[in-house]
Amino acid sequence: MNLQTIGQRFDSQALPSPEIASVSRDRNWYAVFAIPRNEQSIVRHLDVREIESFLPTYETVRVWKNRQRKKVVLPLFPSYLFVHIDNRERVKVLQCPGVLQIVGNARGPVALPNTEVEFLRSGNCRQCMEPYHELVVGDRVRIKSGVMQGVQGTLVRKSGSMRFVLTLELINQNAAILVDPEDIEPVAHYAGIPYN
């Protein structure tokens, strides 16, 4: 074997094949609806099937019957988790024990915007995220800078501080995060009409 042949063999092994490259581009984030309190188990099953998944969680303190306080980690959106898949991997997801369906409409599963999932996955958010169950009323705002730049949500007040509420409309779930007023800007209610 000469050096040119070795170089060609190395180059062909180092670069992903066109099929692999196109598969990674075709992957989207989808919401998965699951049997309640089975989210962690489903994530483990997905890992075995080599499916990328994400379960947003938050930490809270619970008081047990004996008045003992304990920190627990719970799903941010009970009965929902997210998978990063292409069309061919849907069957693997649906075959996992505990999975009821991939969220979508009559035409099939609907992909989530990458910005929403990346917002939930960002380290800054994961530390101070909490569920938000009240009716969301308020101004539409957009985060101006940082990892969450461009993500839109609703501005609300809670305990005297401002909270940015992200609403995942596809699954009708909300999550709130503490936000500084200088990090957000208003969003026009209708395209082409300036916000006042």
Cα–Cα distance measured from residue 138 to residue 163, given in angstroms and rounded to the nearest whole number: 11
Which residue type occupies 150?
A: G
What is the rounded average pLDDT of the residues 93-100?
A: 96
Return all residues near 30 (Cβ < 8 A) that are at least 6 apart: 82, 83, 85, 93, 102, 103, 104, 109, 110, 111, 112
pLDDT value, residue 14: 42
For residue 141, which of 186, 193, 194, 188 has the smallest C-alpha distance?
186
Q: Which domains does the chain show, CATH number per domain?
A: 1-112 (3.30.70.940), 113-196 (2.30.30)
This prediction has a pTM of 0.67
pLDDT value, residue 22: 46
CB distance 75 to 171 below 8 Å:
no
- Residue 36 tokens read as 């309640």
Of 106-120, 131-145, 163-177, the poorest mean pLDDT is in: 131-145
2 confidence band (pLDDT: 50, 70, 90):
very low
pLDDT digits (tens, 9 = 90+) for 114-161: 888 988 888 666 667 888 776 566 778 888 877 778 888 888 876 667
What is the rounded average pLDDT of the residues 30-56?
A: 95
Cα–Cα distance measured from residue 139 to residue 155, given in angstroms and rounded to the nearest whole number: 6
pLDDT value, residue 1: 44
51 confidence band (pLDDT: 50, 70, 90):
very high
pLDDT value, residue 194: 41
pLDDT value, residue 83: 97
